[in-house]
Amino acid sequence: MAEQTFFVDIDCYQQKKSGQNAFGDCFKSRRYTDEGRLLAVLSDGLGSGIKADILATMTATMILKFIEEGKDILKATEVIMNSLPVCQVRKISYATFSAFECTDEGLIKIVEEGNPDFIHIRNGAVVEHEPKVITSKKFTNRHMHLYNFKLEPEDRLIFCSDGVTQSGMGTDEYKLGWRREGLIQFVEGEVLRNPTISSSHLAHEIVKEAIRKEPEHKAKDDVSALVLYFRKPRNLLIFTGPPYRQDRDAEYAKIFDDFEGRKAIVGGTTANLLARELGRDITTEKYNKGMLPACSHMEGVDLITEGILTLTKVLEYLNEGYDRWPDDAAGRLIELLLDSDVINFMIGSKLNQAHYDPDLPLELEIRKNVVKQLEKILSGRYIKKVNLKFI
Amino acid sequence: MEESGKISLELCFGTTCFVMGASKLQDIESFIPPQYKNKVDVKAHTCLDLCKNSTYMKAPFVKIDGEIISEATVEKVIQAIERKING
């Protein structure tokens, strides 16, 4: 039996301190698909607003860059801990951080300095870990907590800024704030209610709940929650464009049909080709939504859209970012994309001559180029694992 | 003509047709004169695969009872339907 691979689903949700126009916490992450590892840093800058934003961004970016350039996570964070300046007024560090490196096998190294201790949830209950404490040679009040362990399938880790654990502090109900215990209770409840809750969803719920503890529901500090969920990957296969070699249509149609996970076809000709090879009917919705051609339906396929116009729109929407994706074929494709962990593209290389007719009222992009740009944004900003296969 | 006795009107929503004007044909049903409405069956397709063949002239394409209409517009399609019905 093939070895089961797992996926590290991470996401962070943040709210600014009420009245500020910049985030004082910073989350940075990078996934290295080829090496099967992921780096992430959550940093909390002292104070709030622009100053905190710069401190946190600087700290998170530096840690990420150091590790990226081959430095061990412990070495990288030690350098940062020793070099971060001290606030002249408060005599405390300029920024705190949590950083971790996690492999696809679930081996995780965590370094924390100053942030609330992370929470490890396994089988619905908390697992506590003893850290190795490393004290800064330069600043004796700075301690890094180092953890090294292996995640098991369905494990979750929750990291947060103190804006979460200290929310509601000073109110009658939460004199000392929501605290880590309150957060644990909430997370346990959420996971019990929805055992497959995604990292993105749980991070949102934590931040929303923290802000509910505050008087008038106004955040008194920057509030960030970073969630890691080690689980079976949700796979998506997108077949777009007819294969270069027509004699291999049947072979590719079989690969598509046999794929385990969700499937989408992006392209009218591609949809016809698969319908023909698989012997199935396609029905097309009669009314287009927005500026894009309507979606179609076929048994065993989750979504069928037109090709290049829809892909170009998807790229445009992802670049712009929306709270709610527009209600058209591109919006529906984005929902499918963002709800998947591993996105596989099968990109047919055959060109449609009609797309190069100079009489076309607008210029159509080349499919290959659009997909390459999509790969960049999906793996960069949306931390997805993306595989491209040109056929 | 279809088995139901209705005229079959097929629209292409492929990329080429769509940018060449098929986007304006989606409302075709509302332009069909009321007396003919129940005599026409409108169906959309992902692609009629006609743009790849230069013998069919220019997109957008529409099929009426299998007959190809190129550079289709609402007027052209309505006229073709009337011709079909009135013989």
Are A320 and A350 in a shared domain? yes
B59 vs A contacts (CB less than 8 Å) = 354
Asked whether residue A77 is assigned to any structural domain, the reply reads yes
Q: A133 vs B87, which has greater pLDDT?
A: A133
Asked whether residue B56 is assigned to any structural domain, the reply reads yes
Asked whether residue B2 is assigned to any structural domain, the reply reads no
Angle at B45 between CA B42 and CA B47, to 5 degrees: 145
CATH code, B38: 3.40.30.10
The residue among A231, A247, A269 that closes a domain is A231
Instruction: Give the amino acid at A5.
Output: T
The minimum CA-CA distance between B47 and chain A, rounded to whole Å, is 5
Own/partner contacts of A378-383, CB < 8 Å, gap of 24 or more, are A378/A318, A378/A337, A378/A343, A379/A31, A379/A33, A381/A318, A382/A318, A382/A337, A382/A338, A383/A10, A383/A11, A383/A29, A383/A31, A383/A38
pTM over 0.90: no
Q: A329 vs B30, which has greater pLDDT?
A: A329
The residue among A198, A216, A231 that closes a domain is A231
Instruction: Quote the number of domains for chain A.
Output: 2
At residue A91, the pLDDT reads 67
Is the CB of A294 less than 8 angstroms away from the CB of B13?
Answer: yes
* Residue in chain A lying closest to B21 (CA): A361
Asked whether residue A1 is assigned to any structural domain, the reply reads no
Are A78 and A175 in a shared domain? yes
Asked whether residue A15 is assigned to any structural domain, the reply reads yes
Name which of B9, B12, B13, B28 to mutate to probe chain A: the one with the most chain A Cβ atoms within 10 A of its Cβ.
B13
Instruction: Give the amino acid at A387.
Output: N
The minimum CA-CA distance between B32 and chain A, rounded to whole Å, is 15
Residue A331: phi, psi to the nearest 5? -60, -40
At residue A93, the pLDDT reads 64
Residue numbers of the domain that contains A300: 235-390
Average pLDDT by consecutive 10-residue portion of chain A (391 residues)? 73 94 94 89 91 91 89 88 75 84 95 95 96 87 92 97 94 92 97 93 96 93 96 94 94 96 97 97 87 94 96 96 91 94 95 84 88 95 92 95
At residue A48, the pLDDT reads 86
ipTM comes to 0.85
Are A217 and A241 in a shared domain? no
Are A86 and A59 in a shared domain? yes
Are A42 and A107 in a shared domain? yes
At residue A86, the pLDDT reads 74
Are A361 and A271 in a shared domain? yes
Asked whether residue B49 is assigned to any structural domain, the reply reads yes
Strand partners, A46: none
Q: How far apart are the first and last CA of chain A?
A: 28
Is the CB of A353 less than 8 angstroms away from the CB of B26?
Answer: no
Are A315 and A223 in a shared domain? no
Residue numbers of the domain that contains B64: 7-86
Contacting B with CB below 8 Å, chain A residues are: 267-269, 271-272, 282, 284-288, 291, 293-294, 296, 304, 306-309, 352-355, 357, 359-362, 364
The minimum CA-CA distance between B17 and chain A, rounded to whole Å, is 10
